[in-house]
Amino acid sequence: MEYQWINYQKEDGVATVTLNRPQAYNALNAAINRDLLAALDEIASDADVRVLIVTGGPTVFAAGADVTEMADAAPMEAYRLCGDGRRINRMLEELPIPVIAAVNGMALGGGCELALSCDFRVAGEKTVFGLPEVSLGILPGAGGTQRLTRLIGASRAKEMILLGRRVSGTEALAMGLANALVPDGEVYTEAMRMAKKLAGMPRLALEYAKRAIGAGEEFGREAGLEQERLCFSMLFSTEDQKEGMKAFLEKRPPSYSGR
């Protein structure tokens, strides 16, 4: 499928979605949201995709939602715009494959929320994360209040949301907002290194592990423990479980099939 506001490529099981609205610092509007939703639908139905990288390119991740599109919105229009962002971020979160955000430059507002919806965040040294919506008279509306709090705790989340505090890549790593910090020119390379490692692992084990973690976060500890037990048990019906344990006992590298 052809996209206007994103670039999509796939190689060796790793898909990359690159936001492509550089004239507006990749600000998220209705058009780019439509492309993102369509791309995520394509990825979700493609069994050859083992890992997804989301990036904005080498200079900026995304400067937030497009304020020019929102400034005069009525409440119901704002509700619809908010819904698009929520759907995109929920889809990222619920994809059965690992998702890595490769973050250069600004990741503000909706761009920060997009990165928060990924499983991993690789940041550059000049990366800046922030949720400045309160200073515009609104608040994060695509999951930022919930995902950021879950990730770094309520006190630090309030600093970023209520006070509008922006966080550098170094700070993001220290507080657990970023998983890795590398020189700016190496962000995508590091994300691809991580992606290739994940792509070589048993697909169903990754999917079920992600599902168990998500169940605990969404529904609480007991539900998470039960989901973990079910996923653990079901994996014993897979060829990869047999291969992985056999390879371990035979002291050789495993050869996973994804089945």
Residue 193's domain is classified under what CATH number? 3.90.226.10
Whether 257 maps to a domain, the answer reads no
Cα 137 from Cα 67, distance rounded (Å): 12
46 with 152, same domain: the answer is yes
Would you please indicate which residues are annotated as catalytic (active-site) residues?
A: 113, 133
Distance of CA 102 to the CA centre of its chain: 9
141 with 223, same domain: the answer is no
Distances (CA, A) of 202 to 132, 141, 216, 228: 39, 35, 22, 17
Binned at pLDDT 50, 70 and 90, residue 105 comes out as very high
Whether 255 maps to a domain, the answer reads no
The pLDDT value recorded for residue 81 is 81
Percent of the chain with pLDDT over 90: 90
209 with 179, same domain: the answer is no
What are 84's two structure tokens?
């698009």
34 with 76, same domain: the answer is yes
Whether 100 maps to a domain, the answer reads yes
Three-state SS at 49: coil
113 with 37, same domain: the answer is yes
pTM for this model (two decimals): 0.94
Q: Which domain holds residue 215?
A: 203-249
Under a CB-based contact definition with an 8 Å cutoff, are residues 119 and 210 in contact? yes
pLDDT tens sequence across 191-246:
999 999 999 999 999 999 999 999 998 899 999 999 999 999 999 999 999 999 99
CA nearest neighbour of 100 among 211, 179, 175, 155:
179
Question: Does residue 1 carry a pLDDT above 80?
Answer: no
Q: What domain count does the chain have?
A: 2
pLDDT tens sequence across 139-188:
999 999 999 999 999 999 999 999 999 999 999 999 999 999 999 999 99
Half-sphere exposure of 12 (CA within 13 A, CB side): 8
Lowest-pLDDT range of 48-52, 186-190, 254-258: 254-258
